[in-house]
Amino acid sequence: MGETKYTKDHEYIRVEGDVAIVGISDYAQSQLGDVVFVELPKLGKALSKGDEAAVVESVKAASEVYAPVSGEVTEINSGLEAQPGTINEDPEGSGWFMKVKLADPSELAGLMNEADYKAYLASIH
């Protein structure tokens, strides 16, 4: 299992082979509160880094989830639509959003590792 990397918008990405798993961080789910609705991208959608990839809605507000890297959506976690609470219970495990086939693996270098992300979270509080 590859290293998990994070964005400043609180998405995470974990590379497994030539596919990367994308979701939102534990911090993000704690800030959103109970998630009540998720809109996932269509299978096969080509995302550019920074594109709006999904929408996640809690009782408080709706937020966009941005693509941390460029690539094609190869799989979506469609179970989230019926059980959005999974995102709160296990965000970085069974609460993943989508799998993306990396277009440019070098984009990963610009993201934070876990230690850097923790330092970033400390800095925004």
Residues in touch with another protein (CB under 8 A): 34, 36-37, 59-61, 84-85
Minimum distance from CB of 60 to another protein (Å)?
A: 5
Minimum distance from CB of 113 to another protein (Å)?
A: 26
Express the helix, strand and coil content of the chain in percent, nearest 5 each.
25, 35, 40
The DSSP bridge pattern shows strands 4-6 and 11-16 to be antiparallel
Minimum distance from CB of 10 to another protein (Å)?
A: 14
Q: Which is nearer to another protein, 42 or 125 (CB)?
A: 125
Q: Which is nearer to another protein, 13 or 32 (CB)?
A: 32
Any idea what DSSP says for residue 79?
Answer: H
Q: Which is nearer to another protein, 64 or 114 (CB)?
A: 64
Minimum distance from CB of 62 to another protein (Å)?
A: 10
90 backbone φψ class: left, alpha, beta (φ>0; ψ -120 to 50)? beta
Q: Tell me the C-alpha distance between 119 and 1, whole Å.
A: 23
